[in-house]
Amino acid sequence: MGRGKVELKRIDNKVSRQVTFAKRRNGLLKKAYELSVLCDAVVALIIFSTRGRLFEFSTSSYMAVRVDV
């Protein structure tokens, strides 16, 4: 049996929103890594938090990019 759909709306509670962001960010980074390994794909992922913190992932060193905010 699969999981149910999640209602996509902004989480009002600041702490819950931050916890959810951290969990989903880690899941997204893991999926990007898995995609690169399973499909031998070149993958780059850039994520900004609400506080402006940068999280990045790339499968190759030449894809390292500097992002100015």
Q: What is the pLDDT of residue 2?
A: 73
Q: What is the pLDDT of residue 23?
A: 98
**Which residues lie below 8 Å from residue 16, measured CB to CB, with a gap of 6+?**
none
Residue-range domain boundaries for the chain: 14-58
Q: What is the pLDDT of residue 68?
A: 52
Q: What is the pLDDT of residue 6?
A: 80
Say yes or no: domain 14-58 is CATH 3.55.40.20.
no
Pick from 59, 12, 18, 10: which is nearest to 39 by CA?
Answer: 59
Tell me the CA distances in angstroms from 20 to 51, 61, 62, 63, one per residue in order.
Answer: 15, 29, 31, 28
CA distance 63 to 11: 33
Spans in the chain with pLDDT lower than 50: 69
Q: What is the pLDDT of residue 14?
A: 95
